[in-house]
Each structure stands twice: as C-alpha cells, then as structure tokens.
Amino acid sequence: MQPNDKLNDPKKDIPIFSPSKVTVIYVLGGPGAGKGTQCANLVRDYNFTHLSAGDLLRAEQNREGSEFGELIRNHIKEGKIVPMEVTVQLLKNAMVEVVNKNPDGRGKFLIDGFPRKMDQALKFEKTVCRGKFVLFFDCPEEEMQRRLLQRGMTSGRSDDNIESIVKRFRTFVETSMPVVEYFESQDRVIKIPASQSIEEVYKETCSKLEQKLGKQL
C-alpha cells in the first residue's frame, strides 16, 4: 500500500482498509474542547496512533513544494474548512505509513478534528475506512473561548485570537454538529461532557471507551 499524492484515486469507491483490521475513532468537539489533550492521554495508555487533521494541514502548508500550501493557509486564516479531498488524502497517506510498518497490517487511530463536514465523513468512509464511532467532547462555548484565549497567549497559533475563534465556533456549529447528529442517528457517538477538569473528562472517556470496545481496546 503506497501513499498517494493524487486526489483522484481510481479505486475511489472502495475503502482501502478493513474495519476488522484497522480501528478508526473520530474525535470531535468545538475549538478548545480539549480534544488534543485527551487524545494524548489515550495514546499514552492505549497505544493509539493520534492523527490530527489540523496538524497534518498545518504541516502540509509549510512543506516546501506543496501544491496545497497557499490554499490551506488561506482557509485556516479565515477559519474556513479546507477542501475535503485535501484533508482525506493527507489522512489516508498518514494511515498507510503507519499500517505498512506493522507486520500484521493492523492499526488503531484516533482522528482528531475530523470529519468536520458531511462530505468529509462520507468520502472517508467510502474510500479509506469505516469508523467505529465518534468520540464527541461536548463543551459550552464560553468555556471553550476562555481556554482558547488563554492558550493564545503562548501558542503562537494564528487562529488563537478572538476574531478567528468566533469564526471557528460558527463554522463548528453550522457544519460539524450535523456530522455529530448524523453519526448519532446511527448510534455511533460517545458523548463526553468536557467542561469538567482534564482528569474527570479522561476518567469518563476511558470508562465509556472500555464499555464500547472491550478487548479491541
């Protein structure tokens, strides 16, 4: 299995991974809900591979010679969602790299901040792998804003300012909540109240994951 820089794969309607060998958990929540922190804890304790759609996009925009760099940069600055084909391709390439290193061809992935739109969800499930479920960190907007402004003092991230934060909230509610609702209608969502302390959120996350996955975890 090879990473592919091309967006149009001739086998585009066949998932390249079987969910019996590759476990995918989507991790969603508004900006500042604590997704990255909780994913880091799960990687430490359960040996997941953490793929952040945002980190992959930020790395790609800085990669010398990237054909998508300028496009990604402009979308992130405006708080808009990068075209679906780009994000799905970057995730697929990263997953292929991990699975190819495992002799048994298996992998366990937490995909953080994805899918953020319905077209991303449908494209990924159709061409890459069917996800087990969405881990949804549910946090009030005021708390997320407080966390992001605090982080912006030290993060250096161009989107940790009040104008970008407001745009990101709006984008999340309008485009990502329908994704959560779609998976919820299929009984494929684990909802975690995320306004508690990091430790409390993690304890509940582990408990619900163990109930859902059992030995697969």
| Residue ranges of the binding site for a ribonucleoside 5'-phosphate | 58, 80-82, 113-116, 120, 157, 168
d(CA 72, CA 186): 32
d(CA 67, CA 91): 16
The stretches of the chain forming alpha helices (DSSP H) are: 35-46, 53-62, 69-77, 84-101, 118-127, 141-155, 162-171, 177-185, 198-213
Residue at 214: amino acid letter = G
| Residue ranges of the binding site for ATP | 32-37, 151, 196
- For residues 31-41, one letter each, b for 16 or more C-beta atoms within 10 angstroms of the residue's C-beta and e for the rest, the string is bbbbbeebbee
d(CA 85, CA 87): 6
The conformation of residue 49, written as its DSSP 8-state character, comes to: E
